[in-house]
Structures are given as C-alpha cells and as structure tokens.
C-alpha cells in the first residue's frame, strides 16, 4: 500500500533565494538542512511500498527521513535536536499522498509514525527501570506483609470512615494477612516484564509499534539488533507491507534489510542520488569483498 507517493525537497534555486534574503537573521550558526541535498541532485523522490535509503555516515539519509516525518506531522517518541533553520526548510517542501477513502485516511493519520534508534534504546532502558521498580516495591510489600502477619500490633487498629486513606490502610492490612504473598503481589503489582535481551526488547518494540494501515519511517532499525533479529525484522516488515497495508521508508546500513526484493533502493552516496540495485551499494560491496577475502576460513 502506497500512502506517500512522492516528496519534493527544496530546489537549488529556492535555497539560493531563501539564503540570499537580506532579512534572514544573521545569528544562525548553520544553514543545515539547506545545502545538503542540491549537491546530491536530489529533489523529487518517488516511493514504493518499501523504500530504502542507504549511504555512509553524513550522507543525509537520517536528515531526509526527519524532514519527511516533520512535514507529515508524524508521531515520534523521542525528540530530536533541530537546527535553527530546520522548520524553514520543512515549510518549503511538498508531498503527494495517494487518494484514500475516509477509513484508510483516518487510520493512516492515527497509526503512522517515525521510529528512531533513540526510541528503541529508550524502550530498552524503560523496561529495565520498570522491572527494577517492581522488584523494589515487591520487596517492600513482602516485608510489610510479614510485619502485619507475625506482629499484629503493627496493624491499623481503628478506621476513620470519613478518611479514605484510613479505610484503604485497614483493607490493605487485612488483605495482606489473609491472602498469600504471591496472590497479593500479582494483584497489586503484576509481574515483571519478561527479561529479554536488548535485541529481543528492540525487536518487540517494532512489533508493538507497527500497526496495520500506516506509514512507518524507520531510521537505522538494525541498531541493537543481532543478525538473527534483523532477519526477523525483515520478514515482519515484508508481512506488514504485503498483508496489512503498511508502507515503509527506511534508512539502513544493514545488508539484510537493504536486500529485500520488494524494496526500491536509493544510493545516498551517489552523485547524483539515484535508484540502484542493492548489490551496487558501496557499503554492500565492502561486505562482499571482506567475506570473499575470508571465505576460505568458513
């Protein structure tokens, strides 16, 4: 399903006119993201169900995805640092969506989002924090329960029926004494989130965040994922694109991701930037040459 059919970056001429404006404030330390794409010959971008941007560090692929996400007002979990002229650049871009019926259009806006490495790392950290907090509260509850059960003098002796806190303390003390520790903790705390590895938590984040009928911009999703989980993510992306009306725009260095047969691949290191076969990418050629050099060791 193609929701975003094309995107127009700011032309070289428009950039020149904007940056030549004598009323442009002089306090800007950088004109970024102006001057990034004209030298690459990149202005009009066409998209397929899965569109991949691959290139070296500093090639502009993450910048491009952030520009598109901001123009479309897509949801994001983690904030990113904008340059002082970033919004000025975004205002001058343009895009074309396919004609959607009311239901598709409504769902598209609701579920579409950009997912960055920061989102995944923050999720991994949050899972660890949640489990640590639960462990601390569990220890306190068990200690309190033992105190109430074996030292009756510590239990609340009276209830102030006009005070909700007093009622709650009394009820809690009775429940702690009468209920087994496991049942009480399960009811009030639940269980720890299963202790996954970073890779498992990262993959889980993608499967929970990507829902049917949306446009998903993934900025280097391979970060924190092992080769095995990268292959799992590839299959998940392909399934969501084929069967669940999802469109993907992806920046990546991963040979597993960039090699998806269905994908349109842009070489961000090209001059000019053009569509290409994934095997033509410089990054992939380096992988190829490295493994060919060492193939006798396998």
Task: Give every CB contact of residue 152 below 8 A, 6+ residues apart in sequence.
Answer: none
**DSSP class of 247:** E
DSSP E strand stretches across 191-256: 215-219, 247-251
Domain ranges of the chain: 4-120+198-297, 127-188
Task: Give every CB contact of residue 232 below 8 A, 6+ residues apart in sequence.
Answer: 203
DSSP E strand stretches across the chain: 4-8, 44-46, 50-54, 94-97, 113-115, 215-219, 247-251, 264-267, 274-276
CA dihedral (43, 47, 51, 52) in degrees, to 10, reads -10
Domain 4-120+198-297 indexed as CATH 1.10.3470? no
**DSSP class of 297:** G
What pTM, to 2 d.p., does this model score? 0.77
pLDDT recorded at residue 26: 59
pLDDT recorded at residue 193: 47
Contact 217, 115 (CB under 8 A): yes
Give mean pLDDT in consecutive 10-residue pieces for the chain, a chain of 298 residues: 93 90 71 89 93 92 95 90 89 91 77 89 67 58 60 61 65 62 56 58 88 95 91 95 95 96 93 93 94 92
Contact 92, 18 (CB under 8 A): yes
pLDDT recorded at residue 44: 93
Vertex 82, ends 79 and 88: CA angle to 5°? 130
């Amino acid at each position: 399903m193609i929701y975003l059919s094309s995107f127009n970056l700011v032309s070289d001429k428009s950039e020149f006119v904007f940056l030549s404006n004598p009323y442009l404030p002089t306090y800007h330390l950088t004109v970024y993201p102006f001057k990034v794409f004209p030298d690459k010959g990149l202005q009009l971008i066409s998209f397929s169900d899965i569109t991949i941007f691959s290139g070296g560090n500093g090639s502009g692929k993450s910048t491009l995805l952030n520009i598109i996400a901001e123009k479309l007002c897509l949801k994001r979990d983690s904030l990113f640092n904008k340059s002082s002229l970033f919004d000025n650049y975004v205002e001058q871009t343009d895009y074309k969506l396919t004609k959607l019926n009311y239901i598709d259009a409504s769902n598209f806006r609701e579920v579409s989002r950009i997912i960055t490495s920061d989102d995944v790392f923050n999720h991994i950290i949050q899972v660890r924090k949640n489990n640590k907090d639960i462990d601390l509260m569990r220890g306190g509850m068990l200690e309190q329960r033992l105190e109430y059960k074996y030292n009756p003098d510590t239990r609340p002796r009276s209830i102030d029926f006009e005070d909700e806190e007093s009622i709650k303390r009394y009820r809690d003390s009775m429940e702690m004494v009468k209920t087994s520790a496991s049942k009480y903790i399960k009811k009030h705390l639940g269980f720890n989130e299963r202790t996954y590895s970073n890779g498992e938590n990262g993959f889980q984040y993608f499967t929970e965040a990507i829902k049917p009928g949306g446009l998903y911009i993934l900025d280097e999703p391979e970060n924190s994922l092992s080769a095995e989980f990268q292959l799992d993510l590839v299959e998940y992306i392909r399934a969501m694109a084929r069967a669940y009306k999802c469109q993907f725009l992806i920046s990546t260095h991963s040979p597993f991701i960039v090699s998806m047969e269905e994908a349109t691949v842009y070489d961000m290191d090209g001059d000019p930037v053009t569509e290409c076969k994934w095997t033509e990418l410089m990054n992939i050629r380096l992988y190829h040459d490295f493994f060919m050099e060492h193939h006798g060791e396998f």
